[in-house]
Amino acid sequence: MLDWLARLGRQGLLLTTALGRSSIFLFQSLAGFPKSSEALTLWLRQVYSVGVLSLIIILVSGLFIGMVLALQGYTILVDFGAEQALGQMVALSLTRELAPVVAALLFAGRAGSALTAEIGLMKATEQLSSLEMIGVDPLRRIIAPRLLAGFVALPVLTIIFTFVGVWGGWLVGVDWLGVDEGAFWSNMQSSVSFREDVLNGVIKSLVFAFVVTWIAVFQGYDLVPTSEGISRATTRTVVYSSLAVLGLDFVLTALMFSNL
């Protein structure tokens, strides 16, 4: 009984220290980021590797999710003679929920795991220590550009995801299933509000970007520097960020849309 209690206490202490360490880590790397042209170059390189290189998977999955939404929605709505509300259904579910969440999950799998593995390998091969040795702060040089790149890249990817998804829904609904084009767009425009739906979706994706990048970078920085440690940390990145995204999504939805 006492053993069990002690184990629980140890877990709690570990969790709290990890949280504290990661917060200090986040604060130090963001506070010390220099605003020079060299820092901009580092940041651009990271936006390229987490944003531009994730573009293909975002485009393809956005297109297919939009198409599937339209197809499924049509088969249900047509029973009620309400297939003209298809545009509204596709656009609302994409802007409010699917685009921020799915883009964040894909981002965690595609870019988050890569970030963890890259930083973890730098730590395992003692590149971070040698940077410190020659007087360069690895938090500023390695971590901060990656964090800031992730914060910017995921919201942009989410907006692109929504755009491609709506286009995919249009492709299936209007071009293939023959929903009236004017009704598709007019129902969408009358029900989607830019501030309530589009901007709230972007705010969601900003929160997800913050959480996913933070988890990915911290797991890489904090891992046990062995090959097994790297593989574990990469797995943890994907699992933790997926859980955090899904949990936070519920909280954000409850805050944003419960009174609509």
Partner 1 sequence: MRNQRWVEVTVGAFMLLGFAALLFLAFKVSGLAQSSEQDGFEVEACFGDIGGLKPRSRVTLAGVTVGRVAAIDLDFQWFEACVTLQLDKNLANKLTTDTAAAIQTAGLLGDNYISLTPGIDETYLAAGDSLKDTQSALILEQLVNQFISNSSKD
Cβ contact 151:206 at 8 Å: yes
The answer to whether residue 194 forms part of the interface with partner 1 (CB under 8 A) is: yes
Distance CA 211, CA 219 (A): 12
The answer to whether residue 61 forms part of the interface with partner 1 (CB under 8 A) is: no
- The contact pattern for partner 1, residues 236-255, with x = CB under 8 A and - = no contact, is --------------------
User: Contacting partner 1 (CB under 8 A), which of 116, 162, 213, 234?
Assistant: 162
Phi-psi domain of 178 (left: phi exceeds 0; alpha: psi -120 through 50; beta: other) = left
The answer to whether residue 157 forms part of the interface with partner 1 (CB under 8 A) is: yes
Residue 227 CB-density burial (10 A; 0-12 exposed, 13-18 middle, 19+ buried): exposed
Cβ contact 59:160 at 8 Å: yes
Biggest CA-to-CA distance, the chain: 71
By CB under 8 A, what part of segment 71-90 binds partner 1?
A: 80-82, 84
Closest distance between partner 1 and the C-beta of residue 1, in Å? 56
Cβ contact 254:220 at 8 Å: no
CB closer to partner 1, 132 vs 180: 180
245 contacts: CB under 8 Å, gap ≥ 6: 101, 104, 105, 108, 208, 211, 212
User: Contacting partner 1 (CB under 8 A), which of 189, 226, 227, 235?
Assistant: 189
Q: What's the one-letter identity of residue 75?
A: T
CB closer to partner 1, 197 vs 222: 197
Q: How far is CA 258 from its chain centroid?
A: 23
CB closer to partner 1, 46 vs 116: 46
Residue 196 CB-density burial (10 A; 0-12 exposed, 13-18 middle, 19+ buried): middle
Closest distance between partner 1 and the C-beta of residue 63, in Å? 13
User: Contacting partner 1 (CB under 8 A), which of 29, 33, 47, 248?
Assistant: 47
Stretch that binds partner 1, among 2-10, 19-27, 133-141, 192-200 (CB under 8 A): 192-200
Nearest to 218 by CA among 1, 17, 10: 17
Give the position of tokens 């209007």. 174
Distance CA 115, CA 150 (A): 10
The answer to whether residue 4 forms part of the interface with partner 1 (CB under 8 A) is: no
Number of residues that bind partner 1 (CB under 8 A): 38
Closest distance between partner 1 and the C-beta of residue 107, in Å? 14
The answer to whether residue 51 forms part of the interface with partner 1 (CB under 8 A) is: yes
Closest distance between partner 1 and the C-beta of residue 257, in Å? 15
User: Contacting partner 1 (CB under 8 A), which of 97, 118, 137, 180?
Assistant: 180
The answer to whether residue 178 forms part of the interface with partner 1 (CB under 8 A) is: no
The answer to whether residue 103 forms part of the interface with partner 1 (CB under 8 A) is: no
The contact set with partner 1 (CB under 8 A) reads 41, 44-45, 47-49, 51-52, 55, 80-82, 84, 91, 95, 155-157, 159-160, 162-164, 166, 180, 182-183, 185-190, 192-194, 197-198
